[in-house]
Amino acid sequence: MAYEKVAGRAEIISVHEGHLLKTTTKEEVDSYLRMSESLANVAPRCCYIITNGKLVEMKKCMVCIQNSSKISQLMTSHSNGEFLILKDEGYEMVNPRIMDLKLGTRTHSDYIPKEKKENHIRKCKATTSEKLGLRLSGAAFVGSGDSFATKWDKAFGKSLKSDQFFKAMKNFFDVDERQKTEVLRQLLKIRVVLEDSTSHRFFGSSLLILIDDEGQETVKVKLIDFASMARSETGQQQYDGVDNGAILGVNTLIKFLTK
């Protein structure tokens, strides 16, 4: 299926077969360069980074190798700035349900202006982020028996109270039980990674969930967006322990799916 964006500000375009080009920041590039193998395994596959005109290979990819001429063209047209060449996790899906859930009880980085920080804090307190560790950022799917697509944007997500949030989840997860089980399995894997990522904070990250209505075994759950991530490195804000806000969000969804 052609790439469909349901949330986020970053410009993302389809490039060669099954791959996306994401315009990003130096901070997210640094997050990918320093990412542990376990975290990389639950994030979208990053094949290349383009940073200020330089190409950095992250993982061997035969599709990218076969499209090396297109990557060279991207290098020419994107010589300034920071970019990620990512695998399109929904590329082989026929009719996917797509949802982006903002993760955690805090969504702002350590390096934004005070006014923006205060806005993020107010937003979390006024929405489901504070109590559930999750906020709906966007979704698109065709409900069972519907002939039209349901689309939810971030304004809708901000308007939801906890009970309304869970009602929305019930609508989205109106799928085969085997698919729910697979979503749960992948969420448990992400939780293990979060629990092992001591001194890390996943500020601004999201859960991307894709479920193909035409292929009952086709499910993807990925941890995405690492521009605001904190790693407690030298010279940076230091954090002890795990990101309890992010773990709360994953646990909220796990509990919902196991009720």
Does residue 186 sit in the same domain as residue 71?
no
Q: What is the pLDDT of residues 56-107, one digit of tens each?
A: 999 889 998 898 888 888 878 887 889 999 999 999 898 999 999 999 999 9
Q: Is the pLDDT of residue 52 over 60?
A: yes
**Residue 20's pLDDT is what?**
94
Q: How far apart are CA 98 and CA 151, in angstroms?
A: 10
Boundary-marking domain end, from 63, 87, 111: 87
Q: What is the pLDDT of residues 168-179, one digit of tens each?
A: 999 999 999 999
Does residue 61 sit in the same domain as residue 178?
no
Q: How far apart are CA 106 and CA 104, in angstroms?
A: 5
C-beta separation of 152 from 160 below 8 A: no
Dihedral pair phi/psi, residue 102, rounded to 5°: -65, 130
**Residue 1's pLDDT is what?**
56
Q: Is the pLDDT of residue 140 over 90?
A: yes
Average pLDDT in the chain: 92
7 located within any domain: no
Does residue 253 sit in the same domain as residue 232?
yes
**Residue 4's pLDDT is what?**
65
Does residue 238 sit in the same domain as residue 115?
yes
Q: How far apart are CA 159 and CA 152, in angstroms?
A: 11
**Residue 129's pLDDT is what?**
98
pLDDT band, very low/low/confident/very high, at 229 (cuts 50, 70, 90): very high
3 located within any domain: no
Average pLDDT over residues 186-210: 97
Q: How far apart are CA 83 and CA 68, in angstroms?
A: 16
Q: Which domain holds residue 49?
A: 12-87
